[in-house]
Chains A and B, each alone.
Chain A
Amino acid sequence: MKVQVVVMPKQSVLDPQGVAVRNALKDAGLETIDSVRVGKLLELEFKAPPTETKLQEVCLDLLSNPVIEEYTIHRL
């Protein structure tokens, strides 16, 4: 089975990368762009489905940094 974990910078954290991409999108002609935030997507493949507890634990401990990021888990 596959699990996708999406990690995004928290709203309260300045995302300079997002600002740079937004400005580039504007320059590329996407004039109505308001804001961009850049995160990451991790795709995890399992031989057997992990427990919810373990999955949450690794998301908190390793895949994201709760000081600056939020994550969402999508089981596919």
Chain B
Amino acid sequence: MKIAVVQFPGSNCDQDCLRALTDGLQVPAEYLWHKETSLSGFDAVVLPGGFSYGDYLRCGAIARFSPIMKAVITAASDGMPVIGVCNGFQILCEAGLLPGALIRNSSLRFVCKPVWLRVETGDTPFTAKIKQGRVLRMPVAHGEGSYFADVRTIDALEANHRVVFRYVDQSGNETPASNPNGSLRNIAGICNEARNVVGMMPHPDRAWDPNLGSEDGKLIFGSLVEALEPLAVR
């Protein structure tokens, strides 16, 4: 098993993602420069956070045209697990792998703080090990993380249980105060129709060791590892 962490010019959570996998979970992971055109030898892809191409034009808009994205789109349609965190989520939306868009936070402020997330479905490779309804703690760090889609798209996401994470308070209740960015229906993460592509604004890559304030991110990457290698003992 080997997991790719794609590096775009301006990615800045690539090291966090790699270390969450290699140090947090002791699984093989390697950087993959965005100019690469093949994912051969890899079993899953992480699109990390950051400011790819300086967020020029729109967040993720230019990264979406990087050579590696063609391979990511093909692999995703073949069922390979793909996760986009923060800027990675924005790139997945721009690439059309996930519906909707991430727009400017309603506060107009860059928000960088720990939040609580409720896991809405265990039916993705990234949440399979987590009990539905469990509340996780991890940080957000973004200026454009407000999830937006038209009502029909949102309703379809809800109906098909494709909202994967929602911002909640510590007790697991969706409240306006627990929503850090104005996302519609407190949406923090979604998946595609086939459920193998997940995008989320909060950072599991910044929550995999007690020294980071939370280990809950390990549940997400750990679910992936188990999905890839069901018999591995960890």
Contacts and interface: CB of A to CB of B under 8 A. Distances in A.
Interface string B86-114: 00000001100001110111111000000
Contacts of A68: 101, 103, 148
B148 A62 contact: no
A16 B106 contact: yes
A29 to B, nearest CB: 22
A65 B101 contact: yes
Contacts of A20: 108
A28 interface: no
Interface SS, B side: loop
A6 to B, nearest CB: 14
Interface residues of B, number: 20
Contacts of A15: 104
Categorize the interface residue count of chain A. 10 to 19
Nearest to A64: B58
Contacts of B61: 62, 65
**Those 5 A-B pairs whose CB atoms lie nearest each other, nearest first:** A67-B101, A68-B101, A16-B108, A16-B106, A16-B104
Interface of B: 57-58, 61-62, 65, 93-94, 99-101, 103-108, 148-150, 182
